[in-house]
């Protein structure tokens, strides 16, 4: 792993655990195993590093959604279900990313809220667009209701996932997956033809 990748990885974990204010460049350098001056050679400030970590995370989210939508599945229900399960499992097992996302979305560091929000909104729009395409195919093949537009269905889908992601801080993976099954049944009942 290259130094820059290690810096991003360790920074994500420290920001997730300690927050922006509780994470110093010294702590990051120590965790990476480099001198503080070397860290500054890569990133001129903690703010720049934080924004880079956030942007990397939101970019990875779009790619994750793309990979989770296995369009080789036999039908749209299977594509959506597999993606749903993949999201839930990932959120329940990837603590640092989820903690970081929840923390910076709820309390962005002073002065960074606008930039981070714009980055997240762009990422979510791209991810939702990928899902909307699958839903539109389901509507065309008469698997998904056309009474609701694809954008609304995609928004609801991601709201369910985000709600279940919040459960990961309280419940075990098994409990979250059990809740996800119940939520899926209700979701599919509402959108199928």
Q: What is the mean pLDDT of residues 118-123?
A: 86
pTM over 0.85: no
Written as six digits, the tokens of 84 are 């749903």
Condensed to tens digits (0 to 9), the pLDDT of residues 69-79 reads 987 889 999 99
Q: 144 in helix, strand or coil?
A: strand
Please tell me which residue, 143 or 116, carries the higher pLDDT value.
143
The whole-number pLDDT of residue 57 equals 87
Give a yes or no: residue 169 inside a domain.
Answer: yes
Residue 87 in any domain: the answer is: yes
Residue-wise pLDDT for 7-54, tens only, equals 999 999 999 999 999 999 999 999 999 999 999 999 999 999 999 999
Residue 152 falls inside a structural domain: yes
Q: Tell me which residue range forms the domain holding 61.
A: 51-191
Cβ(63)–Cβ(163) under 8 Å?
A: no
Q: Is residue 31 part of a domain?
A: no
**What's the structural domain count of the chain?**
1
* Nearby residues of 106 by Cβ (< 8 Å), 6 or more positions away: none
Long-range contacts of 44-48 (CB under 8 A, 24+ apart): 46/20, 47/109, 47/111, 47/112
% of the chain with per-residue pLDDT over 70: 98
| For residues 95-116, average pLDDT | 77
Is residue 2, in this structure, part of any structural domain at all?
no
At 94 the pLDDT is: 66
In a domain, 23, yes or no: no
Residue 56: inside a domain: yes
Instruction: Give the tens place of pLDDT for each residue, 152-190.
Output: 999 999 999 988 988 887 888 899 999 999 999 999 999
What's the CATH number where 56 sits? 1.10.357.10
Q: Is residue 6 part of a domain?
A: no
Q: pLDDT exceeding 90 applies to what percent of the chain? A: 63
pLDDT at residue number 97 = 80
The answer to whether 85 touches 77, Cβ cutoff 8 Å, is: no
DSSP state of 20: T
């Amino acid at each position: 792993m290259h130094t820059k990748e290690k810096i991003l990885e360790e920074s994500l974990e420290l920001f997730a655990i300690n927050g922006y204010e509780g994470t110093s460049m010294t702590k990051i350098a120590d965790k990476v195993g480099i001198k503080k001056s070397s860290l500054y050679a890569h990133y001129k400030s903690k703010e720049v590093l934080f924004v880079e970590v956030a942007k990397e995370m939101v970019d990875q989210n779009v790619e994750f959604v793309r990979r989770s939508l296995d369009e080789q599945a036999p039908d749209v229900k299977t594509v959506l279900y597999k993606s749903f399960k993949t999201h839930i499992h990932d959120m329940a097992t990837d603590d640092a990313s989820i903690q970081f996302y929840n923390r910076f979305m709820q309390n962005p560091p002073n002065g960074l809220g606008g930039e981070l929000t714009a980055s997240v909104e762009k990422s979510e729009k791209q991810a939702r667009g990928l899902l909307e395409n699958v839903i539109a195919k389901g509507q065309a093949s008469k698997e998904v209701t056309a009474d609701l537009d694809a954008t609304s269905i995609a928004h609801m889908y991601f709201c369910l996932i985000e709600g279940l992601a919040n459960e990961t801080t309280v419940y075990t993976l098994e409990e979250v997956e059990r809740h996800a099954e119940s939520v899926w049944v209700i979701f599919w009942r509402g959108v199928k033809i």
